Amino acid sequence: MKTIFFTGKGGVGKSTLSAATAWQLAERGENTLAVSFDPAHNLGDIFGVKLSDSKKKFKDKLYLMEIDLEKRSEKYIKDNIGLLESIYSYLKPFNMDRYFQTLKYSPGIEEYASLTAMEQLIREETRFDFIVFDTPPTGLTIRILALPSVTLAWIERLKRIRREILEKRYTIHKIRGKYSEEGTKLAYNEDDDMVMKKLKEVEERFFRLKSFLQSDDNSIVVVFNPDFLSLRESQRLIGGLNELGMPFRIAIDNKICRENLQRAESIERELLSDSKATLLRVKENSSYVSEKTYIIEENLSDLFAQ
């Protein structure tokens, strides 16, 4: 299974191009799933169908899906609050349990929900040959893609402290041993300690996701337009991706016409001066989308399918 991420500034044509790619891949006989992560979904509009949070068959070998982030964050919070409430149930008489609801508004939960959704798709939908992701605009995409690295760094630190705690507990247990009741109640073994177990579990999940995102099975496509705003933002995006160790392999210069061809060339030169990415130009108005027809002149699927 391979994944393709379409990234770039808002309005450059990520959704259209990702839809076109998914369509062309399906036409070639590849089993394809197109997923939209952009909160302002228009994957459904492009294909003229109504989509939801679960995948829907559009035609043979082409499935579509729009991730409902709000619903997913709520579900995540609900699951975890449920667990918290059952453990701290003695707080019920004081109505303290409702304070856990505050967690719903803590920052980062939405990014986490996106990442979890992404991870789940990559883990579960292996029967597809391609998963094409349409991402939200630059800033959010970088934050979501950076989350595994940031999380792994934190977990590493927390694990180190936890290990030290467990070592000390073990020492105390060894000396006090059966002479003390309190010392034996606390877990001192890494395998018995629930906190350590949970940390390792989260670490494992994120490590797998990070290695997948950095692997050759994942292609990141940067879409841009021949204008300077788009150039600057793409440069920032490319810088961010390089820092994360997820170099982009394909650049698409979208909306080119005779009038802006010269500018397009100079922008492409500046953007791709020190990268080995493949460049593809897509002409203005080359895609035509309606309920019945879906045409795009340029061959996008060649970039991904061998």
Position 103 contacts other proteins (CB under 8 A)? yes
Q: Which of 29, 49, 99, 175 binds other proteins (CB under 8 A)?
A: 175
Position 87 contacts other proteins (CB under 8 A)? yes
Q: How far is CA 35 from CA 6, 18, 32, 69, in A?
A: 11, 9, 10, 12
CB 149 within 8 A of CB 206: no
Position 109 contacts other proteins (CB under 8 A)? yes
Which residues does 195 contact at the CB level (< 8 Å), separation at least 6? 162
- Among the listed residues 195, 218, 237, the one whose alpha carbon sits nearest the alpha carbon of residue 304: 218
Q: Which stretch binds other proteins (CB under 8 A): 30-38, 54-62, 154-162, 259-267?
A: 154-162
Position 96 contacts other proteins (CB under 8 A)? no
Q: Which of 18, 21, 151, 234 binds other proteins (CB under 8 A)?
A: 151
Tell me, rounded to whole angstroms, the distance of Cα 130 from its chain centroid: 15
Position 156 contacts other proteins (CB under 8 A)? no
Angle ∠(106,111,113) on CA atoms, nearest 5: 90
Which x/- pattern over 201-230 shows residues binding other proteins (rule: CB under 8 A)?
-x----------------------------
Which x/- pattern over 32-71 shows residues binding other proteins (rule: CB under 8 A)?
----------------------------------------
Position 171 contacts other proteins (CB under 8 A)? yes
Q: Is the CB of 51 or the CB of 144 nearer to other proteins?
A: 144
Q: How far is CA 297 from CA 16, 188, 214, 280, in A?
A: 13, 64, 31, 12
Position 169 contacts other proteins (CB under 8 A)? yes
Position 84 contacts other proteins (CB under 8 A)? yes
- In whole angstroms, the minimum distance from the beta carbon of 137 to other proteins comes to 21
- In whole angstroms, the minimum distance from the beta carbon of 99 to other proteins comes to 13
Q: Which of 180, 242, 266, 299 binds other proteins (CB under 8 A)?
A: 180
Position 303 contacts other proteins (CB under 8 A)? no
Give the interface with other proteins as residue ranges (CB under 8 A). Answer: 76, 80, 83-84, 87, 103, 106-109, 112, 147, 150-151, 154-155, 157-158, 161-162, 164-165, 168-169, 171-172, 175-177, 179-180, 186, 194-195, 198-199, 202
